[in-house]
Amino acid sequence: MPKPVGSPSGPIVAPSILSADFGRLHDQVQAAEQAGAGWIHVDVMDGHFVPNITIGPLVVRAVRRATQLPVDVHLMVSEPDSLVEAFVDAGADVVTVHSEACVHLQRTLRRIRDLGASVGVALNPHTPETVLSYVGRDIDLVLVMTVNPGFGGQAFLPSVVPKIRALRSWVDEAGLPIVIEVDGGIGPGTAALVARAGARVLVAGSAVFGQPDLRKAIEAIEREARVEAEVTS
């Protein structure tokens, strides 16, 4: 059985440490938790799948030690199969792989589930949600990229919003217990759009760690998302 994902209802803000000060990462993660973060999002980049290199399991272990919150690991790597175990061992609660990086996607998802973590699949902006049609039962979370992955602080791509809506319909109609997460350019101003479309977990890097007051930053996103989710429910 995978570990439970998140709280029973309401939006979850997942600050991405990509925009944190890595020189004081422990303090930054704790500050995010105290400021009301729901999950901590960790962006792993290999310089191959995306044109940037970030961190590995050692840093995930350090994040794990700093917080009680679910640690949400987003693997932007070309061949995740050989790496997932190290990230689960390091304390990842959710491990998300990119569909574009997995030739045998179902096998990779199965491996993550067998390791005891919650299973996520990320979709690049150009990837249709239909790639998941036959793996719905193997997934706990879909991460919809609203930028091309690789960097923080990029502009939100509104063209992806219909995909969030399509996923919401699929999940609801099929009765699948899948959480929809969005990542890239999320903050006040875009949180409403994605929440209205059906996203529940909102990753935010620069809109949280780039701000002087973390609590205000998280609350602003959460408030916007909650209002919109209530309007549509």
CB contact at 8 A, 161 and 113 = no
Cβ distance 107 to 130 under 8 Å? no
* 43 in contact with Zn ion (CB under 5 A): yes
- The size of the interface with ligand DX5 (CB under 6 A), counted in residues, is 22
Verify binding: residue 14, ligand DX5, rule CB under 6 A. no
Which stretch, 31-39, 123-131, 178-186, 214-222, contacts ligand DX5 (CB under 6 A)?
178-186
What's the rounded Cα separation, in Å, for the pair 117 and 103? 21
Residue 185, contacted partner among Zn ion, ligand DX5, none, CB below 5-8 A by kind: ligand DX5
Cα–Cα distance, 168 to 61 (Å, whole number):
33
By CB under 6 A, name the one of 88, 205, 224, 229 that touches ligand DX5. 205
State the catalytic residues: 43, 183
Cβ-proximal residue to Zn ion, closest one: 74
Q: Does 74 bind Zn ion (CB under 5 A)?
A: yes
CB of 131 to ligand DX5, least distance (A): 18
Q: Cβ of residue 16: shortest distance to ligand DX5, in angstroms?
A: 3
Give me 166's structure tokens: 């399509």
Please tell me whether residue 53 adopts helix, strand or coil conformation: strand
Task: Give the end-to-end CA distance of the chain in Å, rounded to a whole number.
Answer: 29
Structure tokens at 146: 């609203």
Binding residues for Zn ion restricted to 183-212, rule: CB under 5 A: 183
Nearer to ligand DX5, 6 or 152 (CB): 152
CB of 163 to Zn ion, least distance (A): 16
Q: List, edge to edge, every strand of the sheet that includes 141-145.
A: 12-15, 201-204, 179-183, 141-145, 118-123, 94-98, 71-76, 40-45
Measured between alpha carbons, how far is 14 from 69 in angstroms, rounded to an integer? Answer: 10
Which parts of this chain interact with ligand DX5 (CB under 6 A)?
16, 18-19, 41, 43, 74, 147, 149-154, 183-186, 203-207
Which parts of this chain interact with Zn ion (CB under 5 A)?
43, 74, 183
